[in-house]
Structure 1
Amino acid sequence: MKKATYLLLSGLLLTSGAAMATEEPNYTVLSQMDDFELRRYDKQLVAQTWVSGDQDSASREGFKVLADYIFGNNNAPSGESSKISMTAPVIMQPETKADSDESQEIAMTAPVSMQQTDGKWRVQFTMPSQYTIQTLPKPNNPKVEIVEVPAQIYGVIKFSWLAGEDKVATKTAELQTWMQTQNLTATGKPELARYNPPWTLPFMRRNEVMIAYQPK
């Protein structure tokens, strides 16, 4: 899919959702300090796909695959295809060697860059809360997985402007440093959350880096 087509598609998805009050995952803010928050998220149902490339190209490819699924390339329990409402944010997370090794526990003990050149990225859409694993349409594309994500607690840093690789790496390091000062033990890799259509003015954009952690 060419970049112009991707921009149009993502814009249509997000603006159509915004007109109907785009749904976001349910969470409770546990504490807040400047641009940092600790949040408890409810369990979620997500559609996800794994893609290769740098952050930009992986974002476009992952969005294309998942948008195809929610636009109707699926099989509902009724036996017909069904359109699924767009939610926000779109989540990206880099793959590491530990993702393919079930015997390894993932722990963050030092700053990690979100930049990936040879690895893969997991791109996720959160499914609307009206669905369960039984009622959600099944994807026809084997590249799309439906996953139930348990309730989790995250450290979050919020930022605006563009979420390029350098900016994301900087914000990831800031979040990890802050979490260390709070004596929080990270249990997951950084996740990039983006909320806005691509033509949103940079200073109005809403982005976040999130890292799951073990509560005290």
Structure 2
Amino acid sequence: MMALQTFPYEVITSSPRFEVRKMGEYFVVKSSVKENMGYEGFNDCFRYISGDNETGQKFSMTTPVINKLDDQRMQDTAFVLLNQDQFPNPHGHARVEKVSSSTMVVIKFKGNISQAIIHQKIQELKAYISSQNYDIKDGPWLARYNPPFIPGFLKRNEIMMEVVHD
């Protein structure tokens, strides 16, 4: 299987399970839907990269697919857009946003995703962030790097949180 492009970052520190990353600036196409709406956010983003935008331009699939769950029970789904700094306007509920450079702390893990696993990994990540004396600025985000048909033991996943870093 061909490797997909991913967003730019530099590893500041690394351990087997955790990384601190300096994230470069990048763009995403993003859709926000109610949590119980299944794959609608994913579908909005996929339609955009498949040419459902004002110019009909198609984009390559990239990794990761990023999800953030906010306090209002909304699910954000975002696809990373690379190699350009201007993008056509989307149709429908999707929108294109610029993501500023940041410092992220990441916990890496393999396997299928469940709410229990996500909750556990968030707690582990928060404990690690605290042990490193960082302050959480935003997050968490779930980053998934593989299509759903890949066997669970091969799936690469991450939970990311933005931290304050000098």
**TM tier, smaller:** over 0.9
Residue 34 of structure 1: CA displacement?
2.3
Residue 165 of structure 1: CA displacement?
0.9
Say which SS state the counterpart of residue 129 (structure 2) adopts: helix
Q: Superposition pairs for residues 146-165 of structure 1, below 5 Å?
A: 146-165=96-115
Q: TM-score, normalised by structure 1?
A: 0.74
Say which SS state the counterpart of residue 85 (structure 2) adopts: coil
Provide Cα deviations, 1:155-191, integer angstroms capped at 9, x if missing partner.
0000001111110110010000010010000000200
Structure 2 Cα separation of the partners of residues 140 and 200 of structure 1: 30
Q: Does 1:69 align with 2:48?
A: yes
Residue 149 of structure 1: CA displacement?
0.7
Residue 132 of structure 1: CA displacement?
1.1
Residue 22 of structure 1: CA displacement?
1.1
1:126: which partner in 2? 80
Residue 123 of structure 1: CA displacement?
0.7
2:11: which partner in 1? 29
Residue 121 of structure 1: CA displacement?
1.0
- Structure 2 residue runs of 5 or longer lacking an equivalent are none
Structure 2 Cα separation of the partners of residues 30 and 166 of structure 1: 29
Q: TM-score, normalised by structure 2?
A: 0.95
Which has a greater percent of strand?
Answer: 2
Provide Cα deviations, 1:133-172, integer angstroms capped at 9, x if missing partner.
2xx122122x111111110100000000111111011001
1:86: which partner in 2? 61
Matched residue pairs, number? Answer: 166
Structure 1 Cα separation of the partners of residues 35 and 164 of structure 2: 30
Provide Cα deviations, 1:110-130, integer angstroms capped at 9, x if missing partner.
xxxxxxxxx1011101102x2
Residue 84 of structure 1: CA displacement?
1.0
Between structure 1 and structure 2, the one with the greater Rg is 1
Q: Superposition pairs for residues 178-189 of structure 1, below 5 Å?
A: 178-189=128-139
The counterpart of 1:140, out of the listed 91, 96, 99, is 91
Poorly superposed stretches of 4+, deviation over 3 Å = none
Say which SS state the counterpart of residue 111 (structure 2) adopts: coil
1:39: which partner in 2? 21
Which has a greater percent of helix?
Answer: 1
Quote the RMSD (CA, aligned, Å). Answer: 1.3
- Structure 1 residue runs of 5 or longer lacking an equivalent are 1-17, 98-118
Provide Cα deviations, 1:48-78, integer angstroms capped at 9, x if missing partner.
0101124xx54x22111111111111123xx
